[in-house]
Each structure stands twice: as structure tokens, then as C-alpha cells.
Amino acid sequence: MNTPPPAKEHSSTAQAVWFTGERQTELRREELPAVRSGEVLVSAVTSLVSAGTEMNFFRGHVTPSDNVTLPTMRGTVPYPVKYGYQVVGRIDEAGADSGFAVGDLVFATHPHQDRFVIPVPLVHPVIDGLTPQQAALTNMCAVAYGGLLEVPVRIGDVVGVSGLGVIGTMAAWLARRTAGRLILIDPLMERRDRAAWVGADAVVHPDDAVAAIAELSDGRGADVYFEASGAPNALQTALSASGAEGRVVVISYFGSRAVGLRLSPEFIQRRQRIVSTFTAELPGELLPRWNKRRKMRVAMEQLLQMDDTKIVSHRIPFHEAASAYRLIDQHPRESLGVLLEY
């Protein structure tokens, strides 16, 4: 069980990571507001840096017209802005009617910050048995799982997954449960090697993806293809590798980069579909039975069965956050899941 630590005194200030310019970050001190009913004060334990949306902010690939705001985001797009959404911490103070207690371990949709006040709809209790480091992966697992909720993988399906970052690797691991053939695609040899634990039938470079999928599908092409790389040219490969009535599920974010597609006669003749997915939403047919809280809990339950050491490559002290962004930006061969430790 998640045993709470002893109570402690609280200061009224906090430190948070801000993006202040293209590839520039700084820690800024800010005042904490009083905790109101329906809010909690959280002390961070660890948080995961998103190599997708968050790194697009860091690199300047987000424009004011992009609808990527979050309730806890502060500042102005493009800069300066405080943006992030996956922190695990313990509750230091619980407002009336919050439903939480001091010491509870929670996952919060909040930027990287050592202490913060947050409304309870953005907070999820961490299930028993899950470590803070595992729990930090909850949102990424929910994104990957959301792709399979949008387009389920049937028993025997031929499935391609491109982009073996955190989300792509998780999507591959989930798809492996039912896929008849699973082909993983990434341009980096290091990431292809690192994904061996998933147990795919083939792990290939993008240049070899179409041929590998054709061979393993007896020429039919992929039934389902998950695009998790965020590389603009990856969608073209996904369409070329998919079969008739094939579904290409986009679980990556391209930011402001243009994505050019050649929609050949084969695309029309095969009746292929490109399906978008978004972690904050659910397919309409699930709404009578599902909500965000259920989806996040299922993601945590999946993480209990997953070896997080295969996903997390680095743990970096919070006060050295700038080095975490440089690592992901400049050394993708070495980095996968990067945690900030508080």
C-alpha cells in the first residue's frame, strides 16, 4: 500500500519550470494560493517530461493558434509559458469536499513544479502497488491505450507501430496481447534494440516497413497501424503499409510542422482511414460506460504489469530540469522516458 509520510510544515512558495524562449528553460519562484474547497495542495515526488507535445513547446513548434492549452498552463504561447501535465506527488493539504486526505499519492495534470494547488478533477489517486515512478507514466499509457480504444486490435490482426518512444512502445506492448503479427518501426537502431522486450515479430527501419509488413501479412498490408513518431513523413509510410480498409491511428502530435501526403489512387481504392485520438476524449460509443477517471485507472492497472525500467531511461533532479530537455532534444538515441525527481 502507499503509506503516507508524516505531516510537515508548508511554505507559501514554489518553483516551476518555464519555457522562456526557443530551447530555453528556467526555474521560476511563485506564490501559492490558499487551498479552497474542491482543491488540494500537492508536493511533487516525480514528473515525466513529454517528448511529444511538451518538447514541441520547448522547440518553438507551437503557435498561438494551436489548441493545446491546459487548465494548469500559465503564460502566453509561444513564450514565456509554463506547460506540462504529468506529476506524481503526495497531498499536503486537502480542501473541503476534495475527497482526498493528507498523504494520498496522486497523479496530477500539472506542469513541472515542486508544490502546487490544483482542482480535484485534474487529480487521480494512484492505485495500490504502483510506485511513483510507474505512476508518472500514467498519462502516456492512457494515450497509448486511447489509440486501442479508438481502433481495437482484433485477435490475429497485423499491426504496425511507428515511433518507439514512450507512447509507441506502450502501444506496441498493449497491441501484442491480441495482434497476430506485430511490426515495430523506428529510424534509431538504439530504440529498435531497446524495444526487443515487447516481443514483436519484426523491428525495422522505416525504409523497410512496407516490405516487412507485406511479408508478414501475405501481401495484404497492415490491418491497424499506430503512428506514434510525430515525424511528418511517417504518415505516408503508414498509408503505404496499410491494407484495404486499413486504419491508421495517429497518436502523435506534429505541432506546427506541415504534414504532406500523397493520397494515391490506392488510398481511395483501399478505403483507408486516418483516425485521430486524444487522451482527454473518448470514442462516443464508450461514453455511456466510460469516463476519464476510468481510463486513467485502467492505464495504472496496465502499468502494474509493465516493467517500467524498460521505459524510463533517465532520472534527473528537478533543479537540473534544463539538462533533461537538452538530453531529449540532442540525444534521442540515449533517452526514452525522462523523469524529474524532486
* CATH code of the domain in which 317 resides: 3.90.180.10
Answer with the one of 250, 276, 302 that is the final residue of a domain.
276
- Strand partners for 244: none
pLDDT at 264: 78
Whether 61 and 128 map to the same domain: the answer is yes
Considering the domain architecture, whether residues 129 and 164 belong to the same structural domain is answered as no
211: in domain: yes
Given a contact cutoff of 8 angstroms between Cβ atoms, the answer to whether 216 and 160 are in contact is no
Cell numbers found for residue 290: 466510460
The residue to which cell 516497413 is assigned: 209
Q: Mark whether 65 and 168 lie in a shared domain.
A: no
Is 4 contained in some domain? no
In a domain, 298, yes or no: no
- Whether residue 174 lies inside any domain: the answer is yes
AA identity, residue 83:
Y
Question: 158 and 95 in one domain?
Answer: no
Question: Which CATH number goes with the domain that contains 209?
Answer: 3.40.50.720
Among residues 332, 163, 187, the alpha carbon closest in space to that of 248 is found at 163
Phi, psi of 150 (to 5 degrees): -65, -45
Give yes or no: residues 132 and 151 share one domain.
Answer: no
- Return the closest-CA partner of residue 120 out of 102, 95, 155, 92: 95
Q: Secondary structure of the chain in the HEC alphabet?
A: CCCCCCCCCCCCEEEEEEEEECCEEEEEEEECCCCCCCEEEEEEEEEEECCCHHHHHHHCCCCCCCCCCCCCCEECCCCCEECCCCEEEEEEEECCCCCCCCCCEEEECCCCECEEEEEHHHEEECCCCCCHHHHCCHHHHHHHHHHHHHCCCCCCCEEEEECCCHHHHHHHHHHCCCCCEEEEECCCHHHHHHHHHHCCCEEECHHHHHHHHHHHCCCCCEEEEEECCCCCCHHHHHHHHEEEEEEEEECCCCCCCCCCCCCCHHHHHCCCEEEECCCCCCCHHHCCCCCHHHHHHHHHHHHHCCCHHHCEEEEEEHHHHHHHHHHHHHCCCCCCEEEEEC
Domain count, the chain: 2
Question: String of b and e for 148-181 (b: at least 16 CB within 10 Å)?
Answer: bbbbebeeebbbbbbbbbbbbbbbbbbbbeebeb
**pLDDT computed for residue 8 by the predictor:** 46
User: Is 86 domain-assigned?
Assistant: yes
Which of 276, 296, 327 terminates a domain? The answer is 276
> Are 132 and 165 members of one domain?
no
Query: Does 229 lie in the same domain as 113?
Result: no
Q: Is residue 118 part of a domain?
A: yes
The range of the structural domain enclosing residue 36 comes to 13-137+311-341
48 & 118 share domain:
yes
Report if residue 74 sits inside a domain: yes
Per-residue confidence of the chain (342 residues) as pLDDT tens digits? Answer: 565 544 444 568 999 999 999 999 999 999 999 999 999 999 999 999 999 889 999 999 888 877 778 999 999 998 999 999 999 999 999 999 999 999 999 999 999 999 999 999 999 999 999 999 999 999 999 999 999 999 999 999 999 999 999 999 999 999 999 999 999 999 999 999 999 999 999 999 999 999 999 999 999 999 999 999 988 889 999 999 999 999 999 997 766 667 777 787 778 788 888 888 876 678 888 889 999 999 999 999 999 999 999 999 999 999 999 999 999 999 999 999 999 999
Whether 8 is covered by a domain: the verdict is no
> Same domain, yes or no, for 145 and 206?
yes
Look at residues 233, 250, 276 and tell me which one is the last residue of a structural domain. Answer: 276
Shared-domain flag, residues 122 and 19: yes
Same domain as 149, residue 118: no
Do 20 and 123 share a domain, yes or no?
Answer: yes
